[in-house]
Structure 1
């Protein structure tokens, strides 16, 4: 029986993070989507002004506010990376050892001696 490695297929590693290239691509896509939304808001504002839509005094400030805030949000989202997953060893190291375990001696509290007392 042939294994996945001998057939040339990649082995699935479930705890591995996305590659840097995949993370960069995802951030670029989010940035383009947000900036595309900004362009849509600009077009909507232009159409509303040209059509002299009712409640124009409400719609134009909303479009302008969205157009002003979206670049800031887009940059924050584009520069954000996915959160790092907790390392598996941390939970193992935080586990309280049994009293018979030699590591238990190093983890008990030490008495602090103050020279001024």
Structure 2
């Protein structure tokens, strides 16, 4: 007989990748990589905004709006990149003690 344990794997097409059987949260490294991508995308939007603002210098109010949009982008990128997703609220099964109850069976009484 073989030893117990091992990885549950899918049998389709000889694929040996593990099957996810729980609702586990993504790993810290995956979560951090996702936050880095968000930060990079938001910071890369700032340069085109500044270029578009410079290209629209003839229409001063449009250039001002575009540049004003690019000003809070670094601040928002840092806040979004540093914010972790909320933890899942797990329902914890706790022991709840009922009020004191009398036993329902008959008791022997000894008279002397």
TM-score by length of 2: 0.67
Q: Secondary structure at the match of 1:38?
A: helix
Count of residue pairs brought into register by the alignment: 90
Residues 1:70 and 2:76 are matched in the alignment: no
Relative contact order, higher structure (CA 8 A, sep 6+): 1
Inter-partner Cα distance in structure 1 for 2:8 and 2:91: 29
Q: Secondary structure at the match of 2:23?
A: coil
From 26, 31, 35, the counterpart of 1:23: 31
Q: Which has the higher helix share?
A: 1
Q: Which structure 1 residue ranges, 5 or more long, are not aligned?
A: 98-102, 107-117
From 81, 90, 95, the counterpart of 1:87: 90
Inter-partner Cα distance in structure 2 for 1:19 and 1:75: 21
Inter-partner Cα distance in structure 1 for 2:40 and 2:34: 10
1:17-57 per-residue CA deviation (whole Å, 9 max, x = no partner) reads 110111111101111111111111011012112xx2xxx22
Structure possessing the higher radius of gyration over alpha carbons: 2
CA RMSD of aligned residues (A): 2.6
Q: State the shift of 1:6 in Å.
A: 5.7
Pair 1:15–1:6, CA change in 2 (3 A): closer
**The 10-residue stretch of structure 1 (28-37 or 8-17) with the greater mean CA deviation from structure 2:** 8-17
Pair 1:84–1:6, CA change in 2 (3 A): closer
Q: State the shift of 1:76 in Å.
A: 0.3
Residues 1:14 and 2:22 are matched in the alignment: yes
From 53, 58, 63, the counterpart of 2:61: 58
Structure 1 ranges of 4+ moved more than 6 A? none
